[in-house]
Amino acid sequence: MYRSHTCGELRIEDKQKEVTLSGWVQKIRDKGFMIWVDLRDRYGVTQLIFDEERTPKEMMEKASRLGREFVIQATGEVIERESKNPNMPTGDVEILVKELTILNSSEVPPFTIEEETDGGEDLRMKYRYLDIRRNPVKEKLIFRSKVAMEVRNFLSDKGFIEVETPVLIKSTPEGARDFVVPSRMNEGQFYALPQSPQTFKQLLMVGGMDKYFQIVKCFRDEDLRADRQPEFTQIDCEMAFVEQEDVLNIFEDFTRQLIKKVKNVEVKEFPRMTYADAMRKYGNDKPDIRFGMEFGELNDLAKNKGFNVFDQQELVVGIAVPRAASFTRKEIDKLIDWVKRPQIGANGLVWVKYNEDGSLKSSVDKFYSSEDLQEWAERTGAKPGDLILVMAGGTDKTRTQLSALRMHLANELGLRKADEFAPLWVVDFPLLEWDEETERYHAMHHPFTSPKPEDIKLLDTEPGKVRANAYDLVLNGNEIGGGSIRIHDRKTQEMMFGHLGFTPEEAKAQFGFLMDAFQYGAPPHGGIAFGFDRLVAILGGQETIRDYIAFPKNNAGRDVMIDAPAKIDEEQLKELNLQITSETE
């Protein structure tokens, strides 16, 4: 028996018990006549004591040879500590060791394995198994497991069945590149790893499963923007015989219950906003609505007043920054520099200080009277003490830029509180999205999303105006889930592929299996998928998903611990009939 208790378990009530603990040596204090060892496992830390007067000599010697991260087993008596540590759950007691076994030794670890570490990100990733021993990392993995459990509990209570779908498939277009896997047995042919189980979950609905879910790995070969992973986890769900309203209701409950269970926070409201409104009010399809700062469009107020810069632009739009009228010239200049950086790419910012005394002072006083500026204040919802910031330019671009500024300021001013949860359904997404590069329309969600029946007539004339039965669940400025009601008949699906630029032959070659299935009694169906890594990170109060993944990849998509991706043997290449034609060393 390696242990009778864990290292997080013993309390003063256990005094005088004989116990055996196993774990890792976190810290050693050796005073010669007395040695203290902090012994750690997943559950906590317990102090061991070796004392010249009470511990046999050879055991004192053995203890003095211990090093950090040695794995040991210690048997002894629980005694009351002389100097207690109120910061440790086990801080009232220590173990007077009678027997000590070294189960394994350890090299000196490359960084300290404590709450705070001296190890940089790269080093910690290379030795991730050591990083996982650290409390903050360990706690996050335990938290993730807890959230997964709550997800399964809720969904199975509601009658959802967890079904696994294959990982070696044919590509599903979800907007990213596929990872591909060569097939040895089918020369020259490749599997693709699923970007999501989308078509399979739809086929499960055709198969009559009615309610499906799966906590599942998805793979997308994207240029990794900050905080994306090439493989990530979804809570993937699908239901038959549902309309949009049914899906929204059940997943509203799901999210509410999850937040209640893991955070003990009651979220009442799940407001809904159309995509068009979200773009108009926040310049963003995943607005953080925890703080105001809604956009105020100023075209009618700011144009044609002699200020050329605005007159030529498609959109003039502003926000009121709460209590920021006191910003110094220097602080405002810093914001102007911030928006001019290439990442944002704005030309500049016009500012208006709405002073506490009600007076207005702006960078464009030459062109606008106090009364004009007063109207801007009303439009942007500014109150005395606020700072109004205005941008102008092409509509889409300006909205994006002002949205970035809004988020930047909210972060700087501490308006995004980790313990406040503000969900929002964004609905009525456009079905199609124009892609400048390829000069054609793409499905904004995916090609299986159904258009709103009343908009179908616009497909031929104004495809960009067609709205989809698609929805996103946004939480604190993050898209945590997205889904749609699907097309479930062959004709509409064929038409959809046509609008996306597929020839009938191409559509058949790629998605014949799905369209065939639709001919055998496909029920109306729809669903949603949540980004599990992100959801866990937000519930955990952090925004980086990497912390919540046991073995994440770095920004270049590499696993630096196992050193992947890597070359394969000449033999393997031959077997797969593959040839590497160019090599960059």
Residues that bind ligand ASP (CB under 6 A): 174, 196, 198, 482-484, 527-529
Q: How far is the CB of 151 from ligand ASP (least distance, A)?
A: 15
The nearer residue to ligand ASP, 165 or 284, going by C-beta atoms, is 165
Q: How far is the CB of 526 from ligand ASP (least distance, A)?
A: 8
Q: How far is the CB of 504 from ligand ASP (least distance, A)?
A: 24
Q: In 186-236, which ranges are continuous DSSP H helix?
A: 198-206
For 577: left if phi > 0, alpha if psi spans -120 to 50, otherwise beta; the answer is: left
The nearer residue to ligand ASP, 205 or 316, going by C-beta atoms, is 205
The nearer residue to ligand ASP, 165 or 198, going by C-beta atoms, is 198
Q: How far is the CB of 475 from ligand ASP (least distance, A)?
A: 16
CB 69 within 8 A of CB 95: no
The nearer residue to ligand ASP, 119 or 482, going by C-beta atoms, is 482
Q: How far is the CB of 483 from ligand ASP (least distance, A)?
A: 4
Dist CA 401 CA 399 (whole Å):
5
The nearer residue to ligand ASP, 349 or 549, going by C-beta atoms, is 549
Dist CA 58 CA 67 (whole Å):
17
Q: How far is the CB of 197 from ligand ASP (least distance, A)?
A: 7
Q: In 100-179, which ranges are continuous DSSP H helix?
A: 121-126, 128-131, 135-157
CA 25, 45, 27, 12 torsion: positive or negative?
negative
Q: Are strands 350-354 and 440-443 parallel, antiparallel or unpaired?
A: unpaired
CB 195 within 8 A of CB 231: no
Q: How far is the CB of 451 from ligand ASP (least distance, A)?
A: 15
Q: How far is the CB of 455 from ligand ASP (least distance, A)?
A: 19
The nearer residue to ligand ASP, 352 or 529, going by C-beta atoms, is 529
CB 456 within 8 A of CB 432: no
Q: How far is the CB of 479 from ligand ASP (least distance, A)?
A: 9
Residues in Cβ contact with 390 at an 8 Å cutoff, skipping those fewer than 6 apart: 298, 302, 316, 317, 318, 349, 350, 351, 352, 376
Structure tokens at 264: 């003990």
Q: How far is the CB of 98 from ligand ASP (least distance, A)?
A: 58
The nearer residue to ligand ASP, 463 or 483, going by C-beta atoms, is 483
Structure tokens at 137: 């990392």
CA 146, 150, 151, 153 torsion: positive or negative?
positive
Place of tokens 């009651």: 266
* Three-state SS at 190: strand
Dist CA 582 CA 579 (whole Å):
9
Q: How far is the CB of 166 from ligand ASP (least distance, A)?
A: 15
Dist CA 387 CA 324 (whole Å):
5
The nearer residue to ligand ASP, 177 or 184, going by C-beta atoms, is 177
Q: How far is the CB of 215 from ligand ASP (least distance, A)?
A: 13
Q: How far is the CB of 145 from ligand ASP (least distance, A)?
A: 23
The nearer residue to ligand ASP, 198 or 398, going by C-beta atoms, is 198
Question: In this structure, which amino acid lies at residue 324?
Answer: A
What crossing angle do the helices spanning 532-539 and 244-263 adopt, rounded to 10°?
40
Q: How far is the CB of 282 from ligand ASP (least distance, A)?
A: 21
The nearer residue to ligand ASP, 174 or 288, going by C-beta atoms, is 174
Query: What is the CA angle 409-481-448, rounded to 5?
Result: 130
DSSP per position, 313-376: -SEEEEEEETT-TT--HHHHHHHHHHHHSTTT-----EEEEE-TTS-EEETTTTT--HHHHHHH
Dist CA 487 CA 428 (whole Å):
16
What is the maximum alpha-carbon separation in the chain? 93
The nearer residue to ligand ASP, 40 or 220, going by C-beta atoms, is 220
Q: How far is the CB of 178 from ligand ASP (least distance, A)?
A: 13
The closest of 310, 288, 303 to 411, measured between CA atoms, is 288
The nearer residue to ligand ASP, 287 or 482, going by C-beta atoms, is 482
The nearer residue to ligand ASP, 196 or 403, going by C-beta atoms, is 196
The nearer residue to ligand ASP, 322 or 483, going by C-beta atoms, is 483
User: How far is CA 127 from its chain centroid?
Assistant: 23
Overall residue count recorded for the chain in this entry: 585
Helix count and strand count (H, E) for the chain:
16, 22
The nearer residue to ligand ASP, 166 or 565, going by C-beta atoms, is 166
CA distances from 515 to 118, 241, 498 (A): 56, 19, 13
